[in-house]
Structure 1
């Protein structure tokens, strides 16, 4: 009987065997839900199973002949009367090999727009947006949930409390975007929280964190102007942590018209914001779209003819926030304009600091992908600080040295939130250790510091 049903039965048995092998492998080394953690292997095995089932169907005419007793007398006759099945099977298998090896050069994940509740974030008429004061909430960053507190100044802090400045101490303010806010990390583990703890017994200084996600030079200038002139907030030292994404944010905010003339009390739950995230492999379709050359080509072709091109371009624009650094076409398209806007707003901040007698320091640092790719970012702010005779902290070498000691993969895993690019607790600790000595020299006037090459003025 097997001789009659062969080869269709053989193809089906092999397909079942591969499925059992795949499922057993997934149970032992995967997550036991039918999706092997080695997605490339999963896609290849899946295509093989489809190939075997189609092959079994293609050979059904031969099976029917055999059931009727019509066996080919020779191998040559067998191949001749099944030439079509042999040819189609060969083509199918060739296509599978193209997809498998094509995956080695094509591993692009789709980007999706995700809306997040932001009852602790709020728009602001002067500096675009900020945190709501006196909030004790569960912060959310991607899949990470963590306690988040703000004080009465609407700054991220260790707890909710009525904050007051001790004007007998030097007032030091840190400002920046999501890295300075410390998204995805509890306050005590952020570089600012660690700095605050490090100098908690020092009776000369008081530290405040005015950072918030998606800030840029326009916002830095307006927020410092608002707090010093409207809130009468004293600042003696200002440390600005400029991010690689600030250039794109300058473009995003170029039509924003600030109103900084009167005090504004933000209310909770007044804004929704969204993020562009790479889609995870949460379904079988996601796996194949993210890890199969053929499925992605079909998906892209469909999107080309049926998807909204403007929405697609916007997703590409927002998901490539750092592309101005190394992509000359993007640099010419919007990066050059973004840099000009950023420098103009930072120059206004320089003039404001001179007017208010605030000593300014500028720091630059990497996302994970910027560790070995930051030349344009670094040169932009080196020139700016040299022109204005401002202290400059370059944190790129701190991470570069770690890469030399181990590898990029290990540094990315140890110091950054996986799949995100922001520092994790270890990354914040590394930054805190790197800025401590320059901070002591600039703010406290302590000259005995290590030979850290990241400080100039």
Structure 2
């Protein structure tokens, strides 16, 4: 090919490339403009943990809840899952209206993220499985992430004041409730619940992941999304390859020093503020006493359930202090006490890979199998 022809071909190729680049840049800027007009304050391409979830909403009286009649996806630790809520803002199998009265027997569950069923659709959670096992019962799940006895009392009181009727309440008290009562929840002057970290030197590993975009990505929603998506994919790949030994090292997910879990076997566990572990326990019991009195006035029986975190299976005993506290509290107050520690310890003793079998990997929450095991035990003990 002659030099003049090569030169002309290169000029044509450069011209075509420039035109294509111009078209691409124009479309990119046009899409960016549309995204910024539609959502000027928040990148609509991002979901949790990078931005606030539309699934979780603020409630002035008892701090927070789930959005009513939500039907969409949410993320938990990189797991995308589909969620539906009913008209009360309770996680449910379908979007549905919930009348204040029901012709069927009605049971209200409440607890924190374990009861909500973090990372799983309703049907795979232990509450959803319980509902499927008892189709004649109208099951309501009022649980949500980070609840504690202060919220159990205030939320149920709010529901009762609004006229909601139910025949029984089942409260699943979480191990993290003690720290939540010690440093995260306070009653304000107006009697509503304030939810924040009152012990600033302590940070929860469940805190929202904040990743600042690079300077070149900051002005553009699309570039910010691509950068954070790349970060998350790499992080999840690294997580899948982490060994149990690594996760048991100090500061890691399954370490013995994880403050939210270690109080049951370590009296010197940190991050419980001036109130301390014993103060957190006393406050949790005080609020459960208030809840029991509230329900007793209305003739509504109360049951309580407990279950182990990975730390209890690794470093604690079957008759954990957590189980002891709520078994003793329930003695003259509860219709039933559901102690799920034995079934989980039995599984641990029979299955070397119990952590991967039962928990979302690197997380303390139950996966589908863990929820199934808890549900089977609950259903058997409830009948």
Q: Which TM class, normalised by the smaller chain length?
A: 0.5 to 0.7
After superposition, where does 1:213-228 map in structure 2 within 5 Å?
A: 213-228=145-160
After superposition, where does 1:311-322 map in structure 2 within 5 Å?
A: 320-322=259-261
1:369/1:323 Cα in 2 relative to 1: closer, same or farther (>3 Å)?
closer
After superposition, where does 1:293-304 map in structure 2 within 5 Å?
A: none
Per-residue deviation, residues 187-236 of structure 1 (Å, max 9, x unmatched): 11111111111222x2xx2111101000100000001100011x210021
Q: 2:292 corresponds to which residue?
A: 350
Question: How far apart are the structure 2 equivalents of 1:281 and 1:319?
Answer: 26
1:146/1:387 Cα in 2 relative to 1: closer, same or farther (>3 Å)?
same
Give the greater-gyration-radius structure (CA): 1
User: Retained in 2: the 8 A contact 1:125–1:258?
Assistant: no
Q: 1:120 corresponds to which residue?
A: 55
Per-residue deviation, residues 241-275 of structure 1 (Å, max 9, x unmatched): 010000111123442328679xxxxxxxxxxx993
Question: How far apart are the structure 2 equivalents of 1:399 and 1:256?
Answer: 35
- SS in structure 2 at match of 1:129: strand
Q: Could you state the TM-score of these two structures normalised by the residue count of structure 2?
A: 0.67
Q: 1:419 corresponds to which residue?
A: 362
Question: How far apart are the structure 2 equivalents of 1:127 and 1:274?
Answer: 23
Decide which structure has greater helix share: 1
- SS in structure 2 at match of 1:322: helix
Tell whether 2:108 aligns with 1:173. yes
Q: 1:403 corresponds to which residue?
A: 348
Q: 1:249 corresponds to which residue?
A: 180
Question: How far apart are the structure 1 equivalents of 2:374 and 2:345?
Answer: 13
After superposition, where does 1:371-386 map in structure 2 within 5 Å?
A: 371-372=313-314, 373=316, 375-386=320-331
1:369/1:383 Cα in 2 relative to 1: closer, same or farther (>3 Å)?
same
Tell whether 2:134 aligns with 1:199. yes
- SS in structure 2 at match of 1:275: coil
Question: How far apart are the structure 2 equivalents of 1:281 and 1:125?
Answer: 36
Tell whether 2:168 aligns with 1:237. yes
Q: Please state how far the C-alpha of 1:280 moved relative to its aligned partner.
A: 9.2
- SS in structure 1 at match of 2:327: helix
Q: 1:325 corresponds to which residue?
A: 264
Q: Please state how far the C-alpha of 1:168 moved relative to its aligned partner.
A: 2.4
User: Retained in 1: the 8 A contact 2:86–2:92?
Assistant: yes
Tell whether 2:78 aligns with 1:143. yes
The RMSD of aligned alpha carbons is: 3.1
User: Retained in 2: the 8 A contact 1:125–1:260?
Assistant: no
5+ residue gaps, structure 2, are: 1-48, 193-203, 210-230, 244-250
5+ residue gaps, structure 1, are: 1-113, 262-272, 292-311, 441-457
- SS in structure 2 at match of 1:427: helix
Tell whether 2:154 aligns with 1:212. no
